[in-house]
Chains A and B, each alone.
Chain A
Amino acid sequence: MALRSFAPSSDERVVAGVCAGIAQTLAVDPTLVRLVFALLALAGGAGILLYLALWAWAEGKRVWVAAALAFVAGCVLLGALGLSARAVVGIALIAGGLALAWRQGGSFHPDAPLSYGGIGLAALGALVLLWGGGTSSALLAPGAVAGALLLIGGPWVWRLAVERDVERTARIRSEERSDMAARVHDSVLQTLALIQKHAQEPRRVASLARRQERELRGWLYGDHPLDESASLRAALEAAAGDVEELHGVRVELASAGDCPVDASVGALVLAAREAMTNAAKFAVVEEIDVYAEVTDDDVSVFVRDRGAGFDRAAVPADRRGVVESIEGRMERAGGRATVVTSLGSGTEVELRLPRRAS
């Protein structure tokens, strides 16, 4: 415990300002502090000695004078409480021993060396107390000895407890590390091996890297359910991952809100996947933007690319991709698909599904 320093207050002083200074430091009423000193002064003048000690300490930092005065004050106080001279000497010796131990870096820190002088002094005090200190010492001695033991032995017990905690933390950490190593081995290292094997095929390398990134990301930051049947976002993420892997494009997925995947939302996901596939195959782009939004009224998914675009009238009638897989599917699910495109300005497919009250 650090001693809080204080400065005697010259503004509110009555004698030397010590009481007012203490009151300021502790933020209490000075009258209360003065009352305590007055009561202590009645105990054989201990209050006056203590006052002088504090004044000496605060004024000129005359630490030894202050300590000696405080020591005498403590003895006087104990004497005034009705203890025999022997008990006072015993307690004084214990206090002196502890002070010595503390000054020598003592046993208050677990790693500090033992202060044999301090311990010896405290033990001597305990002996004096135990042998014939009168009636009051019979009451005080065991407590004083126990206190001294606690102060000296406590830190070691404490250190043992801390060491055990450290050991346990280290064990947990090493378990975590081996779990991590297992995962990294199963996924990242395998992928790196595959990438080395396929170094001559940039598209394959890109899609391998991308899939690994997605997997790792899901593991590191996956706070939302990855169950594809539970979440539109998860289902779209899976679809985007498939398209990335199959066609070597990047799909940038953004979303606001989420909802469970029922039959019609499932159809929406399939239509979105088809739209992504079309963009990957025909638009000649590196990146596709997908945005899903769930409101109280409907679910919308936008699939956009900045690619070649196309002229709908020029699409041969036997090419059923857009008509069947996207528009037909959405209509059967009770929704609507809108394709906005023109040559050279990219394509955006908007899929909208009203949410049923069910």
Chain B
Amino acid sequence: MKRRVVLVDDHDLFVAGVRSELGDAVEVVGQAGTVADAVPLIVELDPDVVLVDVHLPDGSGDAIINAVAAERPGVRFLALSVSDAAEDVIAVIRAGARGYVTKTISGAELAAAIERVATGDAVFSPRLAGFVLDAFRAGEQVGGDAELDELTPREREVLQLIARGYMYKEIAARLHLSVKTVESHVSSVLRKLQLSTRHELARWATQHRLV
């Protein structure tokens, strides 16, 4: 069955481009350009995946995620943005998005990312992997939960390979793991990213809220 997808982006040209690039790979059931329009639409349509722009005219993507999560816990979010600012990306991920990809992603890669998010896995772009490694760098620990505030050596290795541009399949081959194991490492990093109280992450999130 095709995944039902809602697009939330205020750039009509871009939305049209995504629709045509995705083609038949998924079923685009709706689209919205603002936070105010998106929330009731998503609650009504109950799609599998919502592609959400980080910046919208009346707020940011995390506002949608926060508003929808209580009523539709099954809806998964994938952040799609041109923004390079770490605090923006980290804020959406911490709100509950299961991944972040840049808008230059190809149609086929985007379809694969949607499928991966729909099945509950995480999708990290090289850039996001870099942010995360930066945030979890050793030696900046300020107390808190050690299990959540540190990456395991394996998780670090996987993230480094993602940052270097490797795909999950290539990472699995290189580290002699199954793709499933690679996926579970990435999901575990996502969980840490969302739950950790690590100083760097908290700082990014606060900065974002202040803006």
Contact = CB atoms under 8 A, between A and B. Distances in A.
Which secondary structure dominates chain B's binding surface? loop
B126 interface: yes
Contacts of B126: 252, 254, 289, 291
Contact of A256 (B83, B125, B163, B165): B163
Contacts, number: 55
A256 B133 contact: yes
Contacts of B1: none
Contacts of A289: 126, 164-165
A253 B126 CA distance: 8
Interface residue tally on B, bucketed by range: 20 to 34
A37 interface: no
B20 interface: no
Contact of B129 (A221, A223, A254, A304): A254
B191 to A, nearest CB: 20
Nearest to A300: B160
Given A221-B83, A221-B85, A254-B127, A291 B137 contact: no
A55 interface: no
Contacts of A254: 125-127, 129-130, 163-164
B147 interface: no
B83 to A, nearest CB: 6
B17 to A, nearest CB: 14
A338 interface: no
Interface string A246-288: 0000101111110000000000000000000000000000000
Contacts of A296: 138-139
Contacts of B137: 256-257, 295
A250 B82 CA distance: 14
A302 B126 CA distance: 12
Given A256-B137, A304-B164, A291 B130 contact: yes
Contact of A293 (B102, B104, B160): B160
Contacts of B83: 221
A287 to B, nearest CB: 8
Interface of A: 213, 217, 221, 223, 250, 252-257, 289, 291, 293, 295-296, 302, 304, 306, 348
Interface of B: 82-85, 102, 104, 125-127, 129-131, 133-134, 137-139, 160, 163-166
8 contacts: A217-B82, A289-B164, A293-B133, A293-B163, A302-B165, A304-B164, A306-B165, A348-B164
